[in-house]
Structure 1
């Protein structure tokens, strides 16, 4: 199952703090098209019916079935640039 770093959890909490339903809001990672060659990250107010839900540190990530399979053994990290723009990075899980 996908894991979240503390940086990623904080970034997600920051992004969803002003959402209409912050208690259920999170980010959703979904596949584009037929394959797993491209994943998209969007803000979501709730999971879709088939989504897997990852919760860590008060942050929620919703994964569509393809994304859940692709990211099963990965970790999600986050960072910000000098202008404060957040970027997410998928890395290998550490032991």
Structure 2
């Protein structure tokens, strides 16, 4: 029996989760293609957390960004996950 590859959410959980300053709207999966080229898939995991669906922007030669929706994103062998930090994120208390 072959081992099933994890979804992106499960892989992030297994790696210890995310930090408070993670930008979940710009998560990237770098996938190695059979041609040796790298394909970068940008995921909006914030929408998965908020509403149950992830949105992926997949590179397409005829259309630069094609929207994809799914409950979770299935990873492939040797995928790399990059979670950037949010720019201009400020955590504090609002004045009274």
Give the structure-1-normalised TM-score: 0.32
Give the structure-2-normalised TM-score: 0.32
Name which one, 1 or 2, has greater alpha-carbon Rg: 2
